[in-house]
Every structure is written in C-alpha cells, then in structure tokens.
C-alpha cells in the first residue's frame, strides 16, 4: 500500500503525459473547449503532484526527471497547436522549444562533467510556466490578440531570462564543485 501512496505524484505525472495526445487530437478536431478542459486538468495535476510529493516527502528520481518533461510536453504541444491554428504567432513555440533544448544540452554537459549540481526548479522557471499557462488560457478564452500577443512577448522574455539564469546557476555550481575538488 505504501508503494502505491508514494507513487501518487508519479501516477499524476503519467496521466499528464497521457493527456497530451488527447489534447492534441481535440485541437486537431477543433474542439477547443474540450482541449482547454484537458489543458487545465493537466495543469492541476502538475500542481497536485508537486504538493503531494513535497508535503509527504514522496519525491522520486523518476518524478524529478519526468515531471518537468511532462509539463513542457503539454505546454509545447499547446503552443504548437495554437500556432498551427494561427491563434498565436508561429515563432513563440519555437523560441520556447529552443530554450528548453538549450537547457537540456547544458544539463547533459553538466551531467557529463560528473559534477554534483542542483537541478531543481527555481522561481523564475516556475514563473515562466505560470505565465505560459495564463497566456495559453487567455487564447482559449478568446481574449483579444493585442492582449495575448503582449502576454506571449512577456513569456518569451521570461523564457530567455530563465534560460540565462539556469545556465549561470549551473555553471557557477560546476565551477564551485571544481574548486572544492582541488582543495
């Protein structure tokens, strides 16, 4: 029983990943209301799995890796589907994707260096995700493009800021680890 309880956050993460193709299918079928409901439910599971994992100390290596992946997968799918329907500018999902790929490549480099680095999410990454969620929901709610365009520019700025902050943070930690090894 404790194994099941401990893995509730991971189960919610897997549900969120399973929701991505359903969401994409609904978007392709132009069922925006149902797609928006799936998107909101996915975001709720993201919040819930984080609360449950931290509150009950159910944090797992699987969750540390897969949870952020599931979040980005849903948000990027939403961005690409909205761009495909020309509800947002086509460059937005590509900028967010390039930022994520840049962070992934940097993270792999750091892992290859075999330095111990804290890769947990930071306030600026969480803020970027929240702003992306709000911007995507504004599109689903048919808010005028003057407002949503501005919101997405803020998201792009935050994504770039987050990428820079994560990279600076990671390389600072790698440098500190190298100094500690020499001592």
**In terms of domains, do 135 and 153 share one?**
yes
Residue 118 is predicted with a pLDDT of 58
**In terms of domains, do 114 and 70 share one?**
no
**In terms of domains, do 103 and 154 share one?**
yes
Residue 139 is predicted with a pLDDT of 95
Mean pLDDT of 99-124: 70
Q: In this structure, what token pair is assigned to residue 145?
A: 């493009």
Cα dihedral sign, 128-137-156-91: positive
CA atoms within 13 A of residue 40's CA, in its CB half-sphere: 11
Indicate whether 40 pLDDT > 60.
yes
Q: Which domain holds residue 98?
A: 88-183
**In terms of domains, do 126 and 144 share one?**
yes
Mean pLDDT of 56-77: 86
| Closest to 145 (Cα-Cα) out of 101, 100, 85, 98 | 85
| Nearby residues of 102 by Cβ (< 8 Å), 6 or more positions away | 163, 167
Residue 104 is predicted with a pLDDT of 77
**In terms of domains, do 94 and 72 share one?**
no
Q: Chain-wide mean pLDDT for the chain? A: 85
pTM of the model: 0.85
Indicate whether 87 pLDDT > 70.
yes
**In terms of domains, do 181 and 131 share one?**
yes
Length of the chain: 183
Domain boundary among 44, 66, 85: 85
Residue 173 is predicted with a pLDDT of 73
**In terms of domains, do 97 and 140 share one?**
yes
């Amino acid at each position: 029983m404790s194994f099941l309880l401990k893995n509730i956050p991971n189960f919610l993460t897997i549900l969120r990943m399973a929701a991505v193709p359903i969401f994409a299918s609904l978007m392709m079928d132009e069922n925006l209301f149902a797609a928006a409901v799936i998107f909101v439910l996915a975001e709720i599971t993201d919040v819930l799995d984080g609360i449950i994992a931290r509150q009950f100390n159910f944090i797992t290596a699987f969750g540390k890796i897969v949870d952020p992946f599931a979040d980005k997968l849903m948000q990027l799918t939403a961005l690409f589907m909205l761009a495909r329907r020309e509800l947002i500018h086509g460059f937005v999902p590509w900028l967010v994707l390039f930022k994520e790929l840049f962070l992934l490549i940097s993270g792999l480099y750091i892992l290859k260096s075999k330095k111990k680095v804290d890769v947990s999410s930071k306030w600026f990454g969480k803020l970027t995700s929240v702003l992306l969620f709000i911007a995507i929901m504004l599109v689903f709610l048919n808010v005028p493009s003057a407002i949503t365009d501005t919101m997405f520019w803020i998201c792009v700025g935050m994504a770039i800021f987050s990428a820079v902050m994560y990279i600076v943070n990671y390389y600072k930690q790698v440098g500190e680890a190298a100094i500690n090894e020499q001592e």
